[in-house]
Amino acid sequence: MSANLLVELFVEELPPKALKKLGESFATVLADSLKAQGLAAADAAVTSFASPRRLGVHVTGVLPKAADKAVQQKLMPVAVALTADGQATPALLKKLASIGAGPEVVPQLKRQPDPTGKGAEALFWDSVQPGATLAQGLQKALDDTLAKLPIPKVMTYQLADGWTDVKFVRPAHGLVALHGSEVVPVQALGLSSGRTTQGHRFEAVQPTVSVDSADSYAKQLFEQGAVIAGFAERRAEISRQLKGAADALSLTPIDDEALLDEVTALVERPNVLTCAFEPEFLAVPQECLILTMKANQKYFPLLDAAGKLTRHFLVVSNIAPADASAVTGGNERVVRPRLADAKFFFDQDRKKKLEDRLPGLAKVVYHGKLGSQGERTERVTAIAHAIVNQLSMATLPYTVEADDEFKVLDSKVKQAARLAKCDLLTDMVGEFPELQGIMGGYYARHEGLRDGVAIAIEDHYKPRFAGDALPRNHTGTVVALADKLETLVGLFGIGQLPTGDKDPFALRRHALGVIRILVEKNLPLELPALIAAALPPFGELIQDPSEALLSFFADRLAVSLRDQGYSAQEVDAVLGLQPTRLGDVPKRLEAVRAFAALPEAASLAAANKRVGNILKKVEGELPTEVRPELLQEAAEQALAKAIADVQPQADTLFEQHDYTGSLQRLAALKAPVDAFFDDVMVNAEDPALRANRLALLGRLHAAMNRVADLSRLAS
């Protein structure tokens, strides 16, 4: 009779940043193995448990024994298995012995065609495979699960016998396996299963909890052991308490999902407490204080309604004493030296200007083949200057602020690019590398540099990750582009390309950053020209990577667009033309989507594909001149007139970047295109007629494919 199953592995404190994945993997792999063996239904409910000292899983409707299964096994070709008079050959008898059968089963063997098609007939043996017992199946599932756990670093320890070595993420001290209320006899990591586990180190009503049944596990562990076993339940409880404590002060806890996961992995029964530090520390940039509290102490800083840091912070304690003053006081004492260090770094760093740190970048290695950070700074500055020149000469006017003419913009860009990496040499960034750029902005403002320059220094790493904000001003936009292009061109130029899932220099992220800036800011810049502008500053250090880099950008752009909800057909149609100005791509996609909704779209896309195929087969140079006197058939005359009427309108709208309007004008070509293919023979015997008709199709193809390759929309 089926019953619910509970398995728990009790261990020493697990690595907190890995706990969530470990818990999910333990539950999923074990349950999947039981399902694959027929011991649990495919739709069995699976509940994961993961706390600092345990991994567990609850599976519903587990059978004590899997059903027997009919199995047909191919043995060997008949010609090999039987002699001419139908007797078993030694080869067949040896094969039968290897699968636990004897000569007596030979009459029961079936002759039938080999399904692989490798021979005329083969011998098959039909047998019944007994279903696994739960003890057998769970042992296999447990072994598979432990072998597949995503352990960040394996630990080797000895069992109590003093001789046996065990490799696991942390030493294991207990194993619970209950089918209903019955113990399932299994072993793992030198442990035999039972029904006892350990509660909270300090808060448990009783330190050892004897679990009555699989279904009572979570409740007993909570009531007797003072442990919330489920990761999700514990996380939700922490969130609830954080909000309650913050609401009491009319403040908001900082939003950090990774921190919440890590703290959930550190406590078994959370208790949120409110603490505070001295107000004078608020003179330090709040990013520094927030980072040190989060990274070093796992505290939750509290923000006011304006998003400014306050002196209050929240601690998630693992104990709940009647008088919590000792706990809050201890945490306040612990955080004070951290904040004092941040204040000291900030005060010391401001004694030296960013400009004075510039020579020091020559001593910081950037890459063995690409030189120092000082050399890199010179390259980024040169690339940024070239980008300003491209903006100023763009065919589509680029408007900057009234007081920010291109000469002024160039001046700001050069200054920001030169100083952008100087904060790498500060004490604060040395302690907290995550603050690079941010601290440069603070120090630039302290020195009285133009605010636009300070913002650009702060923003030049943006976007740092998916969904991150873009640089806020023109100066930051240019420097961010230059910084990312320098990285991409340099590393591609020395052959350091991403491979598979390995991307140590985050080149995919850099490429997506360039794409987002060009697209979302709709910059009138051509990607090939940007790459070309980034080449000269490298001199002889690199090979020209333009072709590989453009292909890389195209792949990243296609993935990004599909992730945004555009269909593969829509993306292929637009990117098939290899647009160089990425700011146009969203408009082209919307135009293609609108065109595809027209009743004429399918027919025109199919016709466009047909035209393309015809033109590809033309040997030599494609004729370009359409001679009116050679338009003999009414259908080709009508098509020529339709193109003459539609193309100027479509081209005008295209030049105005009204891609939707441009494509929709093409709908008028459906009837004449259909009539042309119904009534006109393109490959006429007369060479002059054939050339004229090919030229007409060439003109049609050019008119239809300025916005996108419409043939990609054909099904």
Average pLDDT over residues 540-566: 93
ω before 397 within 30° of 0 (cis)?
Answer: no
- Decide: residue 370, CB within 10 A, 0-12 exposed, 13-18 middle, 19+ buried: buried
Average pLDDT over residues 151-158: 92
Average pLDDT over residues 339-365: 95
For the chain, count helices (H), then strands (E): 26, 20
ω before 463 within 30° of 0 (cis)?
Answer: yes
Phi, psi values for residue 210, rounded to 5°: -95, 110
Give dist(CA 54, CA 200) in Å, integer. Answer: 11
Q: Nearest-5° angle of CA 250, CA 252, CA 253?
A: 135
Directed axis angle between helix 527-534 and helix 373-392, to 10°? 140
Give dist(CA 285, CA 80) in Å, integer. Answer: 83
Which residues are CB-neighbours of 71 under 8 A, at least 6 positions away? 126, 127, 128, 129
Phi, psi values for residue 198, rounded to 5°: -110, 140
Which tokens sit at 186?
């299994």
CA 392 to centroid of chain Cα atoms = 36
Using one digit for the tens of pLDDT, what is the confidence trace for 677-686?
888 888 888 8
Identify the CATH assignment for 586-713 out of 1.10.730, 1.20.1070, 3.40.50, 1.10.3470. Answer: 1.10.730
Using one digit for the tens of pLDDT, what is the confidence trace for 109-147?
888 887 766 657 888 888 877 888 999 999 999 999 999
The predicted pLDDT at position 402 comes to 45
Q: How many residues does the chain have?
A: 715
pLDDT-derived band at 148 (thresholds 50, 70, 90) equals very high
Which residues are CB-neighbours of 15 under 8 A, at least 6 positions away? 152, 153, 169, 170
pLDDT at 586 over 60: yes
Strand, coil or helix: 179 = strand
Residue carrying the six token digits 């009919």? 70
Lowest mean pLDDT across 197-201, 315-319, 651-655? 651-655
Which tokens sit at 671?
């009837």
Helix (H) or strand (E) holding 596, with range, is helix 585-596
Which tokens sit at 679?
């009534």
Which tokens sit at 102?
């004897």
Letter for the amino acid at 20?
K
The predicted pLDDT at position 84 comes to 82
Residue carrying the six token digits 């049944």? 213
Using one digit for the tens of pLDDT, what is the confidence trace for 371-422?
999 999 999 999 999 999 999 887 666 776 645 688 888 999 999 999 999 9
Using one digit for the tens of pLDDT, what is the confidence trace for 595-650?
888 888 888 888 888 888 888 887 778 777 888 888 888 888 888 888 888 889 98
Strand, coil or helix: 173 = strand
pLDDT at 672 over 50: yes
The predicted pLDDT at position 456 comes to 96
Residue carrying the six token digits 């996609």? 589
Quote the DSSP letter at residue 65.
B
The predicted pLDDT at position 397 comes to 66
- In contact, 298 and 242? CB cutoff 8 Å: no
The predicted pLDDT at position 114 comes to 76
Letter for the amino acid at 240?
R
Report which of 58, 60, 65 is spatially closest to residue 39, judged by C-alpha positions. Answer: 65
Q: What is the chain's Cα-based Rg?
A: 35
Residue 598 burial (CB count, 10 A): 15
Average pLDDT over residues 224-241: 97
Q: Nearest-5° angle of CA 350, CA 352, CA 358?
A: 125
Report which of 396, 383, 659, 698 is spatially closest to residue 530, judged by C-alpha positions. Answer: 383
The predicted pLDDT at position 404 comes to 60
pLDDT at 284 over 90: yes
Query: Roughly how many angstroms between the first and final C-alpha of the chain, as a whole number?
Result: 53
- In contact, 691 and 622? CB cutoff 8 Å: no
- Residues of the chain with pLDDT > 70, as a percent, come to 98
Average pLDDT over residues 301-310: 96
pLDDT at 702 over 80: yes
- Torsion 146-148-149-153 (CA) sign: positive
Residue carrying the six token digits 């690595």? 15
The predicted pLDDT at position 118 comes to 62
**Domain residue ranges in the chain:** 3-66+134-223, 69-129, 231-349, 356-565, 586-713
Phi, psi values for residue 671, rounded to 5°: -60, -50
Letter for the amino acid at 298?
K
| Domain with residues 356-565, CATH architecture | Orthogonal Bundle (1.10)
- In contact, 1 and 64? CB cutoff 8 Å: yes
Give the largest CA-CA distance in the chain.
104
Residue carrying the six token digits 């603490």? 275
Look over the chain and give the mean of its residue pLDDT values, rounded to a whole number: 91
Using one digit for the tens of pLDDT, what is the confidence trace for 193-212?
999 999 999 999 988 999 99
The predicted pLDDT at position 395 comes to 65
Give dist(CA 14, CA 5) in Å, integer. Answer: 23
- In contact, 177 and 138? CB cutoff 8 Å: yes
- In contact, 230 and 48? CB cutoff 8 Å: yes
Average pLDDT over residues 138-162: 92
Give dist(CA 22, CA 166) in Å, integer. Answer: 18
Which tokens sit at 626?
């359409």
Give dist(CA 200, CA 190) in Å, integer. Answer: 24
Which tokens sit at 207?
């330190």
Report which of 341, 342, 319 is spatially closest to residue 330, judged by C-alpha positions. Answer: 319
DSSP string of 643-655?
A: HHHHHHHHHHHHH
